[in-house]
């Protein structure tokens, strides 16, 4: 007999469990242009080096949403049996075109059939560039997103 979802999660996950680091990128300018196309993000600062300089950046910044979008596949690799339900992110520092990020995380709460993780993305200088939080559950949403 399959144990209830809440029991199953609490039996297999603990506060402090880690989401293993995963690298995404490098995000080059052609990738930023393709993401702008598929996301509808027409903010020219991501593609125009001159405009980026006016905003005080040495190169166009990677779209924050492109960075945030790395969390979902990282979580899916970690626990393909769980469905992502909530995801939030704060963009702390710009990631410039050509750079990569490392995504990692840690379980901060398990209960009620859900697991909450604190997520981080670091740049190549090991600075935190995106801080996030994810809530995953089992089967509540049907198929994993």
Partner 1 sequence: MLAERPLGTFTVRATAAQATAFAHETGNPEQGVPFTFPVRWLARPDFLAAAVEMIGDANWVPIHESQSFDYRAPLAVETDYAMTVTMQRETEPSRIILLANVGPAGGAPLLDMEMMLRIVPLPAGQAA
Contact range with partner 1 by CB under 8 A, out of 7-15, 31-39, 104-112, 118-126: 31-39
Q: Would you call 94 helix, strand, or coil by DSSP?
A: coil
Number of residues that bind partner 1 (CB under 8 A): 40
Please classify residue 119 by burial: count the beta carbons closer than 10 Å to its beta carbon, then call 0-12 exposed, 13-18 middle and 19+ buried.
buried
If one asks whether residue 143 binds partner 1 (CB under 8 A), the answer comes out as: yes
Among 66, 97, 101, 119, indicate the residue that binds partner 1 (CB under 8 A): 66
Among 51, 59, 96, 107, indicate the residue that binds partner 1 (CB under 8 A): 51
Contact range with partner 1 by CB under 8 A, out of 6-14, 83-91, 105-113, 115-123: 83-91
Pick from 66, 133, 140, 135: nearest CA to 96: 66
CB of 16 to partner 1, least distance (A): 24
Please say whether the dihedral angle defined by the alpha carbons of residues 28, 94, 65 and 14, taken in this order, is positive or negative: positive
If one asks whether residue 60 binds partner 1 (CB under 8 A), the answer comes out as: no
- The phi-psi region of residue 135 (left if phi > 0; otherwise alpha if psi is between -120 and 50; otherwise beta) is beta
Q: Which is nearer to partner 1, 3 or 25 (CB)?
A: 25
- 135, 23, 73, 91 alpha-carbon torsion, rounded to 10°: 50
Residues 144 and 121: their CA atoms lie apart, in Å, by 22
Q: Which is nearer to partner 1, 17 or 133 (CB)?
A: 133
Among 9, 35, 60, 138, indicate the residue that binds partner 1 (CB under 8 A): 35
Q: Would you call 87 helix, strand, or coil by DSSP?
A: strand
List residues near partner 1 by CB under 8 A. Answer: 24, 31, 34-35, 37-45, 51, 54-55, 63-66, 68-70, 72-73, 76, 83-91, 141-145
């Amino acid at each position: 007999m399959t144990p209830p979802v809440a029991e199953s999660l609490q039996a297999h996950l603990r506060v402090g469990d880690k989401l293993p680091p995963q690298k995404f990128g490098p995000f080059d300018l052609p990738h930023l242009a393709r993401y702008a196309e598929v996301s509808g993000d027409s903010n020219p600062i991501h593609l125009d080096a001159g405009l980026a300089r006016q905003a005080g950046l040495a190169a166009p910044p990677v779209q924050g949403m492109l960075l945030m979008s790395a969390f979902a596949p990282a979580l899916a690799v970690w626990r393909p049996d769980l469905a992502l339900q909530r995801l939030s992110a704060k963009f702390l520092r710009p990631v410039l075109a050509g750079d990569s990020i490392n995504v990692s995380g840690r379980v901060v709460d398990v209960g009620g059939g859900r697991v909450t993780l604190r997520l981080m993305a670091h740049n190549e200088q090991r600075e935190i560039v995106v801080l996030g939080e994810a809530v995953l559950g089992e089967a509540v949403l049907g198929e994993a997103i």
